[in-house]
Each structure stands twice: as C-alpha cells, then as structure tokens.
C-alpha cells in the first residue's frame, strides 16, 4: 500500500492578540480576523516543529523514522540546515533521509509529496513531515496585522494508514506576486494589492485542483472537506467558490479568523482541524499555494478516525492567554 498518514498533531501557541489591539494602536486592523496566534519569546518555527513532532512520536519508536521532511519559510538560519537540529531534538536516527523546504507557503505540501515519493521505494518504515511557520513583517505594514504562528506534524506509514493519499498534482507559474522576503531581510514585503495576491494563487491552485480531479475522476462534490492555504479568510472563500467548493466544505478547516496567517503551516493546521472531526469514508482536498507562484493539490481519504496524536486543534485554540500590543511587540522582538 502507498504511504499515508498514521498519526497527526498540531501545535498552536498559547498567546493571542485581539483585533481590537491593532485598532487601538493603529486606528484599524487590516486583517479579517478576530484574533491571531503569537509565538512566545522562546518559540520559533524550529521549536514549534519539534513540539508538534513530539506529539506524534510519543506513540511510536523514533528510531523507526526513516524520512524527515521539514518545511518552513521562517526557520532561524539563512544558511544552516534546521532538520539536523530537529532530528536531534526528536531522537531520530542519524541515517534518516532529510528533506528541507522553504521559500513560499506551498513548501509544506511540497515536503509532504517529497516524503511520500521517498517512502514509495519501500525501504523506509515511517516518515515524519513537520510544517511550522512564524512569518514577520514591519509593525507599520498593513499585512503584518494578519501574521500568526503554528505548526503541524504528520507521521507517514505504508502499513495500514489511517488516512490514504490518492494522488497529488503540482503547478507553478512565474509571478511577481505580492509577498516576498529578500535575502538577508527579516521582514516580508507586500505591495498591498489583494487582487494581485488572489490572482497569483488562483493561477496555480485552480489548475492544480482541477488537474487532480480530472486524473482521479472526481470533482468538488466528491470531497467532504476542502483545506487551502490561509493568507486571508475572504481570499480562501473566494478561491474555493471559484473552484466549485462550498462554504460548508471549508468550515472545518478555515482557521484564519482565530489564528491569522500562519504561512506554510496554515493549510496543515486546517487539515488537522478537519481530521479531528472527520469520519471514515470522508474525503479531503488539500490545496497549498505560495507566492512565486506554486501550488500543490493532494487528495486524502479517511479510512479510520481517531488518528490524532495530541490535543485537538479546538482544544488548543480554546486554551489561550491574551497580550496587549506593547507585549506583542516585545514577544516579536520589535522592542525590548
């Protein structure tokens, strides 16, 4: 049997900042959210990836993991692999095959399909996919208002997976896009034209989803759930509607209004939320896209419910504390 998901887990930081804090500080909040997640002062993409990974590895022997795929646009090193640090923290064997992806919010799905391809050879028992992100922008930039943090882990297996992978497609198209971070810079840039961001996402996510449906002989109605990269709630809803998906199909995995834009992790946090409640026989369309532009669409089918390796996404969203805007700036390192 091809590899699928044996266990999954999410990691949602404890702290939140409410929309009202931005309104008090800047006179407006330019993100369609109620609140968003905030990484603590000692958290980053690497530590959150490890936290999510520990939740699934608590159920298996880490020494059996033969593939480690790590994905983030915000790992702490510009030149130094983060995967070895993750492997050491999780107690993985030194001969684990490593994949490390980044550069755009589609990198999590790219890591997933690369890990699945590596496992297709049959010599690796388990694979671990970790997707974490903590995007940052200058405090005065409107798009900074949306940026949150989080992580997800998928434990892959070829032996009786709880969630099977029916196939995937990728699509790329050169686009200047609206979101980028230059080499050596800590903050994202964005021209602030939402229509440009939407067009770039639609140009790759749409064809990827359509090609996958054609290949598998399915259509939007075949899926109980649809999960997309979430840079904005309205953008996701518009894109899903254009592809023939309904608001009801999005509901279980659309977390933006409670987490903000968690970058590469957003689609995978949404997937974890969907799997928390999905029953056997339900099908999921996962579509991750990122500026550049690139997209990956993945067909998933739930064979067996109850594959959660840690607290539910809802439980983590409900367990929270709030910070004011000044404390938020301190946690983000903008002020001392």
Domains, the chain: 4-161+308-331 (3.40.47.10), 164-302 (3.40.47.10)
Q: Is the pLDDT of residue 88 over 80?
A: yes
Q: Could you tell me the pLDDT band of residue 177, with boundaries at 50, 70 and 90?
A: low
Q: What is the mean pLDDT of residues 107-121?
A: 95
pLDDT of residue 199: 87
Assigned token pair, 5: 């998901």
- What does the chain come to in residues? 336
Assigned token pair, 227: 């999960």
Give DSSP secondary structure letters for 78-100. Answer: SSS-SHHHHHHHHT--TT-EEEE
Q: Tell which residue, 24, 22, 45, has the closest CA to residue 35.
A: 22
pLDDT of residue 66: 97
Distance CA 82, CA 72 (A): 10
Distance CA 129, CA 269 (A): 13
Q: Could you tell me the pLDDT band of residue 1, with boundaries at 50, 70 and 90?
A: low
Q: Is the pLDDT of residue 92 over 90?
A: yes
Q: What is the mean pLDDT of residues 98-119?
A: 97
Q: Tell which residue, 162, 181, 179, 145, has the closest CA to residue 300.
A: 162
pLDDT of residue 127: 98
- Strand stretches in the chain, DSSP E: 4-11, 15-18, 35-38, 65-71, 97-101, 126-133, 150-157, 163-172, 225-228, 283-290, 294-302, 321-322
Our CA angle for 151, 199, 291, nearest 5°, is 40
pLDDT of residue 142: 92
Question: What would the pLDDT profile of 263-279 be if each residue is shown by its tens digit?
Answer: 999 999 999 999 999 99
Q: What is the mean pLDDT of residues 215-239?
A: 95
Question: What would the pLDDT profile of 203-224 be if each residue is shown by its tens digit?
Answer: 999 999 999 999 999 999 999 9
- What are the phi and psi torsion angles at 236 (to 5°)? -65, -45
Across the chain, how many H-helices and E-strands are there?
11, 12
Q: Is the pLDDT of residue 194 over 90?
A: no
Residues of the chain above pLDDT 70, percent: 99
**Distance set, CA 289 to CA 79, 206, 222, 327 (Å):** 24, 10, 21, 32
Global pTM reads 0.97
């Amino acid at each position: 049997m091809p590899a699928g998901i044996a266990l999954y887990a999410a990691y949602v930081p404890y702290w939140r900042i409410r929309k009202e804090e931005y309104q008090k500080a800047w006179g407006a909040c330019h993100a369609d959210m109620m609140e968003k997640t905030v990484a603590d002062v000692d958290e980053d993409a690497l530590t959150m990836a490890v936290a999510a990974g520990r939740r699934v590895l608590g159920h298996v022997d880490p020494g059996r993991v033969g593939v480690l795929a790590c994905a983030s646009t915000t790992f702490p090193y510009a030149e130094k692999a983060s995967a070895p640090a993750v492997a050491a923290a999780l107690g993985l064997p030194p001969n684990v095959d490593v994949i490390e992806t980044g550069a755009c919010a589609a990198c999590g799905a790219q890591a997933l399909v690369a890990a699945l391809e590596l496992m297709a050879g049959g010599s690796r028992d388990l694979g671990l996919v970790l997707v974490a992100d903590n995007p940052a922008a200058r405090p005065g930039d409107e798009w900074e208002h949306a940026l949150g943090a989080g992580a997800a882990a998928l434990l892959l297996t070829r032996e009786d997976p709880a969630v099977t992978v029916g196939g995937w497609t990728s699509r790329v198209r050169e686009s200047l896009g609206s979101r980028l971070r230059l080499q050596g810079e800590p903050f994202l840039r964005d021209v602030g034209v939402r229509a440009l961001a939407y067009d770039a996402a639609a140009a790759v996510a749409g064809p990827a989803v359509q090609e996958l449906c054609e290949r598998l002989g399915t259509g939007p109605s075949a899926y109980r759930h649809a999960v997309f990269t979430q840079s904005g709630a309205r953008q996701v809803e518009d894109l899903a509607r254009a592809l023939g998906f309904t608001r009801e199909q999005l509901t279980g995995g659309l977390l933006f209004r409670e987490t903000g834009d968690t970058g590469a992790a957003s689609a995978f946090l949404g997937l974890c939320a969907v799997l928390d409640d999905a029953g056997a026989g339900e099908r999921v369309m996962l579509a991750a896209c990122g500026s550049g532009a690139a997209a990956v669409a993945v067909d998933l089918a739930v064979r067996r419910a109850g594959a959660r390796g840690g607290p539910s996404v809802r439980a983590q969203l409900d367990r929270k504390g709030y910070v004011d805007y000044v404390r938020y700036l301190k946690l983000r390192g903008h002020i001392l």
